[in-house]
Amino acid sequence: MLCVMALEDAGITPEKDEILVTGASGGVGSVAVTLLDQLGYQVVAASGRPQNSDWLKSLGADRVIGRAELLEPARPLEKPLRAGCIDTVGSKILAKALTQMDYEGAVAAYGLVGGFDLPTTVIPFILRGVKLLGVYSVMCPFERRMQAWNRVTELLPESFYTEAATEIELEAVPELAEAITVGQVTGRTLIKL
């Protein structure tokens, strides 16, 4: 929700072009897809797991693209394809997304699973006025955090929890950690205490 709010603060509205969500099969990405859809945005979900396409569409993605499409080397500036992006991956995928933003587009960057480098140029920022918005929930002020939680409560449908959340026992956390590191976890995982 903090990423969605960052895009809203940057003037990215549903009437503008589509929004890309990278790492859409993961926990943050799947929530972002659902929230954006609930707010009326056109959502493009990027995932490295093509078997999740139907599931991502059921969460609200208008279309799904493969991760490989975003791993192709980015030129300094590419054809403008989207108004915004919620990036949970970083590195090459973030760089590619930045080069494909519309004029005055915005990217809310939240994750680093693909790496913490940013192999790009300043050209998208200068020639298109693209905004890179860092989102870090740990240091988020309490008031903003409460605003985000209240909006999640309003927007995230109860069906999300049955479609995109898995519940495990505390003893299963080591296996979950291993599955996360090899990209085998889809959606959110709730740990039952």
Strands 188-192, 165-169: pairing is: parallel
| Band of residue 81 on the pLDDT scale cut at 50, 70, 90 | very high
| Eight-class DSSP state of 83 | E
- Whole-angstrom Cα distance, residue 20 to residue 17? 10
For 93-137, write each residue's pLDDT tens digit: 999 999 999 999 999 999 998 899 999 999 999 999 999 999 999
- Whole-angstrom Cα distance, residue 132 to residue 130? 7
Report the b/e string of 12-30 with b at 16+ CB within 10 A. beeebbbbbbbbbbbbbbb
For 5-60, write each residue's pLDDT tens digit: 999 999 999 999 999 999 999 999 999 999 999 999 999 999 999 999 999 999 99
Cα-based torsion angle of the residue sequence 136, 138, 144, 148 in order, rounded to the nearest 10 degrees = 80
pTM beyond cutoff 0.85: yes
Give yes or no for a contact between 98 and 126, defined as CB atoms under 8 angstroms apart.
no
- Tell me how far the alpha carbon of residue 101 is from its chain's centroid: 15
- Whole-angstrom Cα distance, residue 191 to residue 188? 10
